[in-house]
């Protein structure tokens, strides 16, 4: 049976009234004085609210060291990869020339090394003999010893890439703290460069606790620094020469540039090296 409009409206009104009464019974109203005040626990429950803080975490000295060492580990792991091995092979001294001049007399120089230096010279625009003179001075054959020593079999060994790798590392945490005027750490100079020495560890830790933004800034810098997949050490040596000069390899030795120059002149006049270079030009 169809309902007329008046009857339908009356039924809907009754249903709405009953629904409102039921809602009030389920959720009885309270006067303002009896209502529960708003709290974080009323929203988040009984969870540990201290762990939900939005504020930036506070880092300790140990945290700074952990982040630094983790990034350094990643750098060295990348250097052990396949790409790095291709760019920085260990040289075969069975296929070498034997130098005959001055302090280089009887020193073995792999032909592959000479070829690699020529390639780097072409890529970077750095003089071939400047690079060879640098290698002669930095490696053991520059001291008149046999270059085939096990400690001098890679590009990094030959150009003393230990210092070159500093540009790929995050800044030492102690140097960073010293730069920010932290207490308990001092910068000192040695013949090999500058370094930061902790003079009072407790004072340093207390200073970090009082200046949390400094530690946070350091951790952020370390986290955003990128460790390269691989490094071509001859290219890095050439780029160092272009940007900072040969003297930068040993700033503590005021005569270092002159020593490299003399090594370069010896190699330029060495008959064995000249003969090999002529063979490449044929």
Q: Is residue 27 part of a domain?
A: no
Report the Cα 198 to chain-centroid distance in Å: 22
Q: Is residue 22 pLDDT above 70, yes or no?
A: no
Domain count, the chain: 2
How much is the pTM?
0.62
**93/71 same-domain check:** no
Q: Is residue 103 pLDDT above 80, yes or no?
A: yes
Q: Is residue 11 part of a domain?
A: no
As a whole-number percent, the residues of the chain with pLDDT over 70 amount to 68
Q: Is residue 9 pLDDT above 60, yes or no?
A: no
Residue that terminates a domain, selected from 180, 195, 224: 224
Q: Is residue 83 part of a domain?
A: no
Q: Is residue 10 part of a domain?
A: no
Question: Which of these ranges, 42-56, 74-88, 139-153, has the smallest mean pLDDT?
Answer: 42-56
Q: Is residue 190 part of a domain?
A: yes
What pLDDT score was predicted for residue 41? Answer: 37
**160/180 same-domain check:** no
What pLDDT score was predicted for residue 161? Answer: 63
**237/134 same-domain check:** yes
**161/93 same-domain check:** yes
CB count within 10 Å of CB 182 equals 23
**124/219 same-domain check:** no
**104/144 same-domain check:** yes
Strands (E), 93-212: 96-98, 108-110, 185-190, 193-198
Please report which residue ranges of 5-110 form alpha helices under DSSP H: 5-26, 40-44, 61-79, 82-87
**249/126 same-domain check:** yes
Q: Is residue 212 pLDDT above 50, yes or no?
A: yes
The answer to whether residues 89 and 128 touch, using CB atoms and an 8 Å cutoff, is no
Domain carrying residue 186 = 61-76+171-224
Q: Is residue 92 part of a domain?
A: yes
Q: Is residue 55 part of a domain?
A: no
Q: Is residue 155 pLDDT above 80, yes or no?
A: no
Rounded to an integer, the average pLDDT of 89-109 is: 85
Mean of the per-residue pLDDT values of the chain: 77
pLDDT in tens, 166-197: 777 888 999 999 999 999 999 987 766 678 99
Residue that terminates a domain, selected from 206, 224, 242: 224
**107/216 same-domain check:** no
What pLDDT score was predicted for residue 19? Answer: 54
Q: Is residue 126 part of a domain?
A: yes
pLDDT in tens, 242-259: 999 998 887 778 898 999
**109/208 same-domain check:** no
Residue that terminates a domain, selected from 181, 203, 224: 224
Q: Is residue 50 pLDDT above 60, yes or no?
A: no
């Amino acid at each position: 049976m169809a309902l007329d409009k008046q009857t339908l409206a009356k039924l809907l009104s009754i249903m709405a009234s009953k629904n409102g009464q039921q809602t009030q019974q389920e959720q009885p109203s309270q006067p303002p004085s009896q209502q529960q005040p708003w709290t974080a626990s009323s929203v988040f429950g009984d969870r540990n609210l201290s762990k939900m803080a939005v504020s930036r975490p506070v880092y300790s000295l140990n945290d700074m060291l952990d982040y630094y060492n983790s990034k350094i580990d990643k750098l060295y792991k990348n250097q052990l990869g396949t790409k790095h091995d291709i760019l920085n092979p260990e040289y075969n001294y069975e296929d070498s020339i034997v130098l005959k001049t001055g302090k280089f007399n009887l020193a073995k120089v792999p032909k592959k090394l000479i070829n690699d230096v020529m390639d780097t010279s072409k890529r970077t625009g750095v003089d071939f003999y400047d690079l060879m003179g640098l290698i002669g001075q930095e490696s053991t054959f520059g001291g008149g010893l046999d270059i085939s020593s096990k400690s001098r079999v890679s590009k990094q060994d030959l150009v003393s890439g230990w210092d070159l790798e500093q540009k790929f590392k995050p800044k030492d945490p102690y140097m960073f703290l010293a730069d920010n005027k932290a207490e308990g750490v001092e910068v000192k100079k040695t013949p090999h460069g500058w370094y930061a020495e902790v003079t009072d560890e407790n004072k340093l830790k207390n200073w970090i606790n009082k200046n949390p933004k400094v530690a946070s800034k350091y951790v952020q810098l370390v986290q955003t620094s990128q460790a390269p997949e691989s490094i071509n050490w001859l290219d890095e040596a050439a780029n160092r020469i272009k940007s900072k000069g040969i003297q930068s390899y040993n700033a503590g030795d005021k005569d270092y540039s002159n020593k490299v120059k003399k090594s370069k002149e010896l190699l330029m006049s060495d008959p064995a090296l000249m003969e090999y270079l002529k063979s490449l030009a044929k």
